[in-house]
Amino acid sequence: MEPFHAPVSIPIPYVFTSTPTIGCSTNCMRTTPWMDSRIWSRLPQRLIDRIIACLPPPAFFRARAVCKRWYGLIFSNTFLELYLQVSPHRHWFLFFKQQSLKNYIYRNNTSSNRATYEGFLFDPDNLKWYCVSFPLIPPGFSPASSSGGLICWVSEDSGSKSILLCNPLIGSLAQLPSTLRPRLCPSIGLTITNSSIDLIFAGDDMISPYAVKNLTSESFHIDGGGFYSIWGTTASLPRLCSLESGRMVNVEGRFYCMNYSPFSVLAYDVSTNQWCKIQAPMRRFLRSPSLVESRGKLILVAAVEKSKLNVPKSLRLWTLQESGTMWVEIERMPQQLYNEFAEIEGGRGFNCVAHGEFVVILIKGSEKALLFDFAGKRWVWMPPCPYVNSGDGGDELHGFAYEPRLAVPITALLEQLTLPFNSFSA
């Protein structure tokens, strides 16, 4: 946990308003026995730390303004160890602005002549948005994946890709070694646990749109047992692949991504270093298919349009069974809601991202998005992001599953192991 001792700046400008108790004045709240300072001032410090460790990130950073001790909790090994034990998992989402052909998620800062990256956190339990900045990310990088509380940023230029891992809550930044093969627009998969990192780049090794395709993948691995493989493991993809999604999802040791023309699912087994194809359900009638991970299962989300048959158009969700080849439909959008959704979408397509019990469906070219809750079996329209101007010249949101975490143990492992790369400093 040593890396947490270094002083860092907290870039998140959280702003919250508290709602006073109805029918109770401020003086009433001060005199109520539940707020008696003679009681609360005697709480054991360990219990106070436990309460603070369970706070959601916005409340935690607001609480750090109370006193110097609370401000310094983020640099305390003892508190961070407690945080890892008791802090609940929060299934949030992190969104960025994206234009149709290329990512332009930063806005020009004319005063410093440098780009300021911005992301937008969404809390699906409370339907609230927050804004977070990434001041340490240099220009020319785009967010590519997220796992274990870290955001993976990849260089946009063609050629070997530079990779940064960032924790937006504490402002930490680490650089991984660049990929060995030059690539133009790879599909990227990332999974981070408390003791390991697996990162995979797949696609053609073109350096320009006019180069000859050579479909391959290369992977990076590091774990707490001392084993690491720095892009030394490569594999060839099946023939006739077209990885246009740009991202992968990980489920129980396998990375999955969509293959286009015709639709199928590509699966990469980390343990055997092999790729295989899985036939997609109703592949001839799918539109805008997306793969997401939810509750440890691989989910395929797509619109179904069987125009030649007497079957109403719909949006459906399938899950891949344990056999690894069979799909089962698990949910279908209510027809009345789909009619409303289809009218807004207008055939432009949509993207999906899932985390925990929640699936978010983002309509391309629109600020509209639907949220599906597996636990409550309910569909709701998400409130629009207040930090995005609807007239931003074709900008739209694309997102990642994100678990906000103050402590990510794997970052300490990156610092401690003797590897041919160092921490990145902007």
Domain spans, the chain: 2-14+25-88, 92-402
pTM for this entry: 0.83
Q: What is the pLDDT of residue 389?
A: 76
Residue-wise pLDDT for 337-388, tens only, equals 999 999 999 989 999 999 999 999 999 888 899 999 999 999 999 999 998 8
Average pLDDT of the residues in 207-234: 78
pLDDT above 50 for 207: yes
Average pLDDT of the residues in 235-258: 84
- Asked if 401 and 355 count as a contact pair (C-beta separation under 8 A), the reply is yes
How many whole angstroms separate alpha carbon 103 and alpha carbon 344? 24
Query: If one looks up domain 92-402 in CATH, what number appears?
Result: 2.120.10.80
pLDDT above 50 for 260: yes
Residue-wise pLDDT for 61-104, tens only, equals 888 888 898 888 888 889 999 999 999 999 999 999 875 434 43
Residue-wise pLDDT for 277-335, tens only, equals 999 998 888 999 999 999 999 999 999 987 666 677 899 999 999 888 899 999 999 99
Q: Share the mean pLDDT of the chain.
A: 81
Greater model confidence, 1 or 95: 95
How many whole angstroms separate alpha carbon 393 and alpha carbon 409? 40
